[in-house]
Amino acid sequence: MNPRRVFSVARKETLHILRDPRSLGMAIAIPMLLLMLFGYALTLDVDNVPLVVWDQSQSHASREFISRFTGSPYFSLREHVNNYREVERAIDSGVALVALIIPTDFAGRIESGRAAPAQLVVDGSDSNTATIAIGYADVVAKTHSQQIAIREIQRIGGAKLQPPLEVHPRVWFNADLESKNYIIPGLIAVIMMVIAALLTSLTMAREWERGTMEQLISTPVTGRELILGKLLPYFGIGMLDVLLAVLMGEFLFRVPLRGNAALLFGMAAVFLAGALSLGLVISIVTKSQLLASQLAMVLTFLPSFLLSGFMYAIGNMPRAIQLITYLIPARYFVALLKGIYLKGAGLEILAVEALLLAVFGVLMVLVANVKFKKMLV
């Protein structure tokens, strides 16, 4: 392999990028735009759940129970209603996600020591949010019920009573349970996979469509030199994108980077080599810019978004789908980024993911070299 010929091909591709602002914009601006859009819009935190209340009891006991909800950071009281028709209207119109309905005999049942039922109506059209809201409401109700029972026992017996079991949870790696702390690292992996493959998926196809591939084939440049020269400019742009994404995560989204930054960029380099080579393979096989860009999107975005563990836990997927996820390189890069970002883990913990990512990179480079032939077909 002649370094001068590799440099000449890389220089040619760099000049093409600089002369085409659309390509340069897609390479730098789009990843930053996607990171900002997804980073701010995509959140799994559920708080300030809109709540309406129908208090038929109108008693001190019912108002105390309602105050448990309104005093919680997870519920936001929107309005009081007076019948089921207004409850239905509030939920149908989106004013409320949850409706709390307290019956007329609520206070009497509590005072007599009997079970006092209260109804919770939840909008189940968003099942994930509804499940979380029900969990919040269940905790509020059980805590209030426990406090009433303790207060009543103390009133009768006069002794101070403490709950027999008290749990003090301790959350590691994401103490505030903020979804952005694990969404942003995974998002970097998904965006880099898509952008890298899209960038190089147009390179070879563009040469074929413009008729310049015949000139390249007639030169002494070998297939390996051509592929490496095509990869180098986009590799540099990809690493710049990673740097900008890391800086945005640190200063814009305030996501802590607890691990080794050098390890992060090293793994990003391995991942980019494989993703860029995948784009080259697509470009070599299709020889059409339109088809190459469409195929690159299908082969990168959907699998990376759905099957990498970025959005959905792989352990909750059907067994057959879990096996398919082992073929998705973004799965290993997402695991690496989350381990480095949140846990501060090193290669002693992430060695398997790093090895499989390296296998993907080497395999894609080899396939690109095998598929490219210096001949007109």
Task: Note whether 11 and 72 are same-domain residues.
Answer: no
Q: pLDDT tens across 274-303, in order? A: 999 998 888 888 888 888 888 888 888 888
Band (pLDDT 50/70/90 cuts) for residue 162 is: low
What pLDDT score does 370 carry?
A: 87
pTM (predicted TM-score): 0.79
Instruction: Point out the least confidently predicted range of 18-22, 58-62, 245-249.
Output: 18-22
Task: Note whether 217 and 356 are same-domain residues.
Answer: yes
Whether 28 is in a domain gets the answer: yes
What pLDDT score does 163 carry?
A: 60
Task: Note whether 227 and 348 are same-domain residues.
Answer: yes
| Residue 116: CATH number of its domain | 3.40.1710.10
User: Residue 41: is its pLDDT beyond 80?
Assistant: no
Copy the structure tokens of residue 105.
Answer: 């005999």
Last residue of a domain, one of 128, 157, 186: 157
Determine the length of the chain: 377
What pLDDT score does 341 carry?
A: 92
Task: Note whether 183 and 215 are same-domain residues.
Answer: yes
Task: Note whether 122 and 201 are same-domain residues.
Answer: no
Task: Note whether 278 and 218 are same-domain residues.
Answer: yes
Q: pLDDT tens across 110-158, in order? A: 888 788 899 999 998 888 888 889 999 998 998 888 888 777 777 776 5
Domain that holds residue 151: 49-157
What pLDDT score does 159 carry?
A: 58
Mean pLDDT of the 95-106 span = 93
Whether 167 is in a domain gets the answer: no
